[in-house]
Amino acid sequence: MGFYNDQQSKEPTSKGLKIWAASVVLSALVGSASTAVIMKSNLIVPQQVAPVAGSDTTPSSVPVTNVSVKVNDGVVGAVKAVKPAIVGVVNYAAAPSDYMNQSQGLQAQGEGSGIIFDKQGYIVTNNHVVEGAAKVEVLLPDGKKTKADVIGTDPYSDLAVLKIPVSYVTGVASLGNSDELQAGEPAIAIGNPLGEAFNQTVTEGIISATKRMMPVTDQASGQTLNQQAVIQTDAAINPGNSGGALCNIQGQIIGINSSKIASNGVEGMGFAIPINEARQIISSLLRTGHVNYPALGIGVSDLQQQDPGQYVLNVPVDYGVVVTGVQSAEAKQSGLKTGDVIVALNGTKITDSVALHSELFKHKIGDTVTITIYRGNDEQQTLSVKLTALSSYANTGNNSADSNQNGNVNGLWP
């Protein structure tokens, strides 16, 4: 996920993020209970008014009551609970060689944020924060720095898990329940906008919506990998907040900051990955270092982007995905063939490969799904396919005739 800019220009990597390198801070609108307010007992003298019927006197003043609210209430207490678990994350890459072709070592190519969620030193952040890193360093709340190991990454959810030595753990965040969120509810965001100089920055606003569908994009290729349901907020957002915490008024993590819309004239449209969605991904990354997603075991390309010279596709629709290769035994047994156009999965319309991903990811490996296809001039057909693991068909380097000619080798997509 990332910044959605109407100029579609890329951010310099030296500033931490490219166009799709997201930064999100979700914040919260806090009521009077979170702010210290002390009002003197002054008298407000109104303009002279006519006597009230039946009264012998005319009011000449209105007393103001003293109000004092403890600063430890509300947002302040939540921030104190969460701050010790919020860290900065620095991505180092190999520096360009000099004129004598000698290596210049490593240099920081981006900065983000992270959340310590386990006392053993495990940290969750965004995948795009650490993507392509030769070294990852963590900046702790007390100003210390330490090298972090990348335990696992998942580009489809834009999440990654890091680990630092136990001796550097400064606090552990408490995870909340994002399924109970409501629009208008307070939330608090903490992260490192613009890097180390502004580490531990706190922002506040409201939750604008609980489920917005936004694309997850690969930073290196610019390819949209998935559609993800995220929390929308009106928070102030800046590069470097990616991977930081969105918490509720109880100081519990309810989201992981991930992206914003950064078009001219647009304010307060940021997004975070719900913590309930992130839990499953984090668990898988801890176990295996990656996430096994369900797949059809085929290669596809969008019908609307299909090269007319590649296949003769005389189908009565202008949407869907074209099967460009059939790899898995399950897909072959289903009767799927190269050139088929998939237009629905379990009755849900499939407009493109992103929509196909989103529907597939709602299922488990081993599930059987029904897909609706067109095959040339033939009438609409339905086929049943048993889902296999995406990782079994991704990046295998197979260049056989069944591979996708548009770079989608061995079902890297579905």
| Active site residue ranges | 128, 158, 242
CA distance 357 to 363: 10
Amino acid at the residue 200? Q
Run of H or E including 386: strand 381-386
Q: Which two tokens stand for residue 4?
A: 């959605």
- Degrees (nearest 5) of the Cα angle 304, 308, 312? 105
CA distance 51 to 363: 74
CA distance 353 to 227: 10
Which of helix, strand or coil describes residue 309? coil
**What residue has token string 């990354």?**
285
CB 323 within 8 A of CB 342: yes
Print the SS3 string covering 88-115: EEEEEEECCCCCCCCCCCEEEEEEEEEE
End-to-end CA distance of the chain: 19
- The closest of 411, 136, 174, 151 to 284, measured between CA atoms, is 151
DSSP structure class, residue 315: -
Torsion of CA 28, 128, 229, 271, to 10 degrees: 20
**What residue has token string 């990955």?**
273
Torsion of CA 223, 130, 3, 406, to 10 degrees: -10
CA 281 to chain centre: 12
CA 98 to chain centre: 37
